[in-house]
Structure 1
Amino acid sequence: MTSYDVSAVRQLERLARYQGRRTAILYEGRALDYSELRDLVARLGAGLRADGVGPGDRIAYAGLNSLAFLVGYLATAWVGAAYVPLNFRLAGPELRDILLDARPDVLLAEPAQAAIIDPLLEPLDIRRLYLIDDDPSAYADATLSSVWESYSEFVAAHDPSVPALSRTEEDLALVLYTSGTTGRAKGVTLTHGNLWWNWVNVDSVVDTRVGDVSLAIAPLFHIGGLNAVTLRTLTRGGTVIVRRTFDPAQALRDLVEHRVNSMFVVPAMLAAIRREPGFAEADLSELRSTIAAGAPVPPALIESYAAKGVSLQQAWGLTETAPFSTYLEPAMTLEKLGSCGIPMPYTEVKVVDPATLTDVDEGSGELWVRGPNVSRGYWNNPEATADAFTPDGWFRTGDLGYRDADGYFFIVDRLKDMIISGGENIYPAEIEKILSAHAQIEDVAVVGVPDEKWGEAVCAVVKLAGGTLTLDELRDYAARSVARYKLPTRLIVRDEVRRNGAGKLDKPAIRAEVNELLREQGTSVETASFTETIRLPPRRS
């Protein structure tokens, strides 16, 4: 049986040949058509191949959303390697651990990220380090060691006529790192087939069209930002507007001025755009496909966009499912408020009792997913792979949910204690490990509490060994080791941190107690001061 090339590069070459003058990317005032994009990708690909990079190798990227990010991905596919985009919010120790696990042959980095990684290079053994030096938007005043080479000179020095390698469904395309509940990051492996089948799923149910204008404001290092609509737009001859980071005022201007048709967002982004002056008057009539995922979309937010003629389309999935497993079609947005939809056409979803591992027809259970869009496992982590993926292809998501009588799925909780803040996954065990090393902290639990802006906020519940501790002091301490978006924004001081009979943190009880006591104190967790330490009385017996 013949294996066909399903990579984004195949479509890039086709578009460059037949529709080369069509605009592919708009980035920081620069417009690239498909011929120009193909030329950049081919030059970088030719350089990488001349340097011996190919199948079995990995190329990492450290930086914000940019033209170089997308060129890097496409050039990596061009030579048959796997792309490892790094979370630009991570602290140095976190980046070091991921790079030690991924062992990339090449690293492309913007100056700010290169400055973080530079002191950590000795044990990493990365053969080639290229500094992105042709992007004024990425400029940073960084002092680096002499091992860094010029990205722009490397690209310019090579011939774009070198052909791309063919990539089939089984070939590895991406390794995307997502934090584990034990604190160790896991590298999700995604093949070109996984990505391609997500495109097929999206095309089957979402109103995306050839020539669409898409807005890329979610981080591209996340599978949602990269593969929900960005890569699909580029492979269908559309235009992608790339913004380095999310700015709600800029996003609203882009939606109106560029007549944007599609975008992937998390609910916090939609809420921020809605709060912008001029939202009520903004003409969003061209916005057909707004896919929201990463957290439940509040009904009030759905209704406010519906009043402007924009149907927010909720989806559910994970990095391991590339990303979508279910989708709520626009016609059912209001009728099925709170639902994440029905299974994608080429994806199976079922509800399983997590204790007995038997299928659940009624009631809640763990959601399992199977399909050609589903990852085959984790990079260099057979134990985690065996825990999450069954021999017959099901992925155990760790999310609790149920299916209603009409077949629509609803997410009700998480088996694990993950916090989702502004679409970012935050794992309490990682934060607890850092905070437990603080000299003044005797015991600690980290839980999520409701937050008006971000959906959830990180709350630290601590027992002090002595003295006092402010939230600012706690955040300053933790910021040495973890990204700032993971830092607690609430600090609760207790006489004891609740544990169960096995000595484990009793997270459900801690969450319930925190919310109850805050209500009794008359302090809203949504409006608690960012720098206020809330000291609660001893727990009642």
Structure 2
Amino acid sequence: MAYTFADLFEHSVDAMPDRLALIASGEEVTYRELEERANRLAHHLETAGFGAGSHIGIHMHNSIETMVAVLAAFKIRAVPLTVNYRYTTDELVYLYDNADLDALVFHRGFAERVAEALPQVPRIRHLVDVPDALATGTEPSLPGSVRYQDALAAASPERGFAERSGDDVYILYTGGTTGRPKGVVWRQEDMWRVLAGGLDFFTGEPIADEYQQSRTGAAGEPMRMLILPPLIHTSALMPTFTALLAGNAVIYDPRFDAARTWELVGRHRPTAMVITGDAMGRPLVEALRGAGADTSSLAVVASGAALFSGSVKDAFFEALPNLMISDSVGSSETGFGGIGFATKGLEQHGGPKVGSHRHTVVVDDENRVQAPGSGAEGWLAKIGPVPLGYYNDPVKSAEIFREVFADGRSQRAVVTGDRARIEDDGSVTLLGRGNMVINTGGEKVFAEEVEAVVKAHSDVYDAIVIGVPDERWGNRVAVVMRARDGLPDFESIEKHARSQLAGYKIPRSFWIVPEVERTPSGKPEYRWAKDHTAAHAPDHRID
């Protein structure tokens, strides 16, 4: 057996076949049922001519069928590529083409957009059309597509697949907030190590063997995890695998809705809920007020992949005093980089602070690892199991996949675009994205630090902080924001910001919008914010 997601999942099926695996859209499936459906789809794909190295696009929202498709691809040593379902036709054409997709499994609700893109991507030669909880019933039937139900009905529910290898890869498309999406190529074993339980999340030590997760799961009581981010992102897909490899159940909702989330919590009683920062956290905590939901089962809220500001965490603590809140550092390129735990009233400057981790380091501009106790600022980097690089992009790969130096030797690492500081105890504090540093009058301002302060004001519902051109200072700090009700009190916001930020960090220009645009995973859409400020006069200026 190899350290692949298909093998490890099959261990769980063998150990706990009758446990509940997934809950979504009113349906529940056991491990055995999920396995049989994945086997059937995998055999269908094999019969259609796909196997090791084939690229299978999965253009779907969160559902049981989405995980069936991911598992089916892994079972035949194909490469599943989850597609951002919010992409425009042009963006889809780029991704389909850049990813060299051979086949596409898609939800019926996305059929119209898929149909617009397909003529420009002739490499895709097989389509599987999946029933969709969000479809209207008026979507077109794509010529030549195979109905999901027919594909499963005609195929075997048994395994019978070729031996797999830990060198089998998974490609995750990421980015798109400041440029074109990029495919990050991971060996499956490395991704499992850093994101799905193959390493101890706190110590970085590898687990004993390939059966440890299923063995431990079978010996304990199962828990339930409500995963809200979209499965197109590691912040949802890898927690799903972490749960499934240990015999736990995962709950999905096809579309994020804060009020409905609390109904799901009361109905299905999860122990943990996975979110992506303020984009989900703020509407969730506001929907909880007065909802009358039964939240007694919920013990943990785990966030990652986006800023989770202290003010929103405190609001959770006020509503649920016994809650544990974790904030993880990581990305598609680094995997898990560390975890921190929040307490009420904790001051937060920039991103989260995470505990010491053997594979998370800070390097300077010469790629030298900075020692704990130096207090040095630099670039967040990850050593240990790291990706092979970006798909079909050696130039971009060379920019961040580098050799770093420590204790007289070099080792391969991912050097991210995040600025960070190494603390005395070896913990790491995230300061902000390096490519979103605002240079104003020679001073550097981290956008995330200002964003966290602005969003803590009661008049601000959501905000993105960027730099805009300024004749005197080069750039000025600007905010594109959604107000909570009516016109915000700008004087009060300025006073609030000055109480926590140095003068050069104070926002000087404000744009009010009906909705702040974010990616499906909750990250700021910086390109949209910059385009908006370029096309519209500010609603308020401080000179």
Q: TM-score, normalised by structure 2?
A: 0.75
Q: Residues 327 and 352 of structure 2 are in contact (CA less than 8 Å); yes or no, is this contact kept in structure 1?
A: yes
Q: What does 1:345-356 align with in structure 2 at a 5 Å threshold?
A: 347-354=358-365, 356=366
Q: What does 1:238-249 align with in structure 2 at a 5 Å threshold?
A: 238-249=248-259
Output one character per residue of 1:286-332: Cα deviation in whole Å (capped at 9) or x when no partner: 3333221223322232233334211110111111123x2011146x7
2-structure distance, mates of 1:352, 1:125: 44
Does 2:304 align with 1:293? Answer: yes
2-structure distance, mates of 1:362, 1:460: 27
2-structure distance, mates of 1:124, 1:344: 46
Does 2:181 align with 1:185? Answer: yes
Higher mean C-alpha displacement, 195-204 vs 31-40? 195-204
Q: Residues 131 and 150 of structure 1 are in contact (CA less than 8 Å); yes or no, is this contact kept in structure 2?
A: yes
Structure 2: which amino acid aligns with 1:185?
P
Matching residue within 142, 160, 180 for 1:163: 160
Aligned to 2:339: 327
Matching residue within 102, 117, 120 for 2:99: 102
Does 2:18 align with 1:34? Answer: no
Output one character per residue of 1:340-398: Cα deviation in whole Å (capped at 9) or x when no partner: 344575x51222223x43344323211111122x2121111111111110143110111
Output one character per residue of 1:138-163: Cα deviation in whole Å (capped at 9) or x when no partner: 45422344132222212211112242
Unaligned segments of structure 1, at least 5 residues: 420-427, 429-446, 462-496
Superposed displacement of residue 50, structure 1: 1.8
1-structure distance, mates of 2:36, 2:201: 31
Structure 2: which amino acid aligns with 1:234?
L
2-structure distance, mates of 1:448, 1:184: 26
Aligned to 1:384: 396
Matching residue within 410, 413, 416 for 2:429: 410
Aligned to 1:315: 328
**Against the structure 1 CA distance between its residues 279 and 367, is the aligned structure 2 distance closer, same or farther, given a 3 Å change threshold?**
farther
Aligned to 1:88: 85
**Against the structure 1 CA distance between its residues 449 and 95, is the aligned structure 2 distance closer, same or farther, given a 3 Å change threshold?**
farther
**Against the structure 1 CA distance between its residues 520 and 189, is the aligned structure 2 distance closer, same or farther, given a 3 Å change threshold?**
same
Q: Residues 42 and 75 of structure 1 are in contact (CA less than 8 Å); yes or no, is this contact kept in structure 2?
A: yes
Matching residue within 43, 51, 55 for 1:54: 51
Aligned to 2:415: 396
Q: What is the DSSP-based 3-state SS (H/G/I as helix, E as strand, rest coil) of the residue aligned with 1:70?
A: helix
**Against the structure 1 CA distance between its residues 143 and 135, is the aligned structure 2 distance closer, same or farther, given a 3 Å change threshold?**
closer
Superposed displacement of residue 285, structure 1: 4.1
Does 2:469 align with 1:457? Answer: no
Q: What does 1:83-232 align with in structure 2 at a 5 Å threshold?
A: 83-179=80-176, 181=178, 183-197=179-193, 198-200=195-197, 204-205=201-202, 211-227=222-238, 229-232=239-242
2-structure distance, mates of 1:283, 1:317: 32
Higher mean C-alpha displacement, 186-195 vs 206-215? 206-215
**Against the structure 1 CA distance between its residues 175 and 36, is the aligned structure 2 distance closer, same or farther, given a 3 Å change threshold?**
same
Higher mean C-alpha displacement, 162-171 vs 188-197? 162-171
Matching residue within 380, 389, 405 for 1:367: 380
Superposed displacement of residue 34, structure 1: 1.2
Q: What is the DSSP-based 3-state SS (H/G/I as helix, E as strand, rest coil) of the residue aligned with 2:412?
A: coil
Superposed displacement of residue 460, structure 1: 9.7
Structure 1: which amino acid aligns with 2:287?
E
Matching residue within 528, 531, 541 for 2:512: 528
Does 2:19 align with 1:22? Answer: yes
1-structure distance, mates of 2:291, 2:426: 35
Aligned to 2:441: none
**Against the structure 1 CA distance between its residues 344 and 398, is the aligned structure 2 distance closer, same or farther, given a 3 Å change threshold?**
same
Percent identity, aligned pairs only, is 22
Q: Residues 114 and 131 of structure 1 are in contact (CA less than 8 Å); yes or no, is this contact kept in structure 2?
A: no
Superposed displacement of residue 264, structure 1: 1.9
Does 2:244 align with 1:234? Answer: yes
Q: What is the DSSP-based 3-state SS (H/G/I as helix, E as strand, rest coil) of the residue aligned with 1:240?
A: strand
Output one character per residue of 1:229-256: Cα deviation in whole Å (capped at 9) or x when no partner: 2111111111111111111111112223
Higher mean C-alpha displacement, 272-281 vs 252-261? 272-281
Q: Residues 368 and 395 of structure 1 are in contact (CA less than 8 Å); yes or no, is this contact kept in structure 2?
A: yes
Structure 2: which amino acid aligns with 1:457?
I
**Against the structure 1 CA distance between its residues 448 and 329, is the aligned structure 2 distance closer, same or farther, given a 3 Å change threshold?**
closer
Aligned-residue RMSD, C-alpha: 3.7
Q: Residues 118 and 144 of structure 1 are in contact (CA less than 8 Å); yes or no, is this contact kept in structure 2?
A: no
Superposed displacement of residue 79, structure 1: 0.3
Superposed displacement of residue 536, structure 1: 7.3
Q: Residues 169 and 191 of structure 1 are in contact (CA less than 8 Å); yes or no, is this contact kept in structure 2?
A: yes
Structure 1: which amino acid aligns with 2:186?
L
Q: What is the DSSP-based 3-state SS (H/G/I as helix, E as strand, rest coil) of the residue aligned with 2:58?
A: strand
Q: What does 1:423-502 align with in structure 2 at a 5 Å threshold?
A: 456-457=463-464, 497-498=469-470
Aligned to 2:282: 271
**Against the structure 1 CA distance between its residues 106 and 450, is the aligned structure 2 distance closer, same or farther, given a 3 Å change threshold?**
farther
Q: What is the DSSP-based 3-state SS (H/G/I as helix, E as strand, rest coil) of the residue aligned with 1:350?
A: strand
Superposed displacement of residue 277, structure 1: 4.6
2-structure distance, mates of 1:393, 1:454: 41
2-structure distance, mates of 1:85, 1:363: 38
Aligned to 2:314: 303
Aligned to 2:10: 13
Q: Residues 449 and 458 of structure 1 are in contact (CA less than 8 Å); yes or no, is this contact kept in structure 2?
A: no
Higher mean C-alpha displacement, 251-260 vs 524-533? 524-533
Aligned to 2:521: none
Q: What is the DSSP-based 3-state SS (H/G/I as helix, E as strand, rest coil) of the residue aligned with 2:436?
A: coil
1-structure distance, mates of 2:243, 2:476: 45
2-structure distance, mates of 1:202, 1:160: 32
Aligned to 2:500: none
1-structure distance, mates of 2:106, 2:467: 34
Q: Residues 330 and 338 of structure 2 are in contact (CA less than 8 Å); yes or no, is this contact kept in structure 1?
A: yes
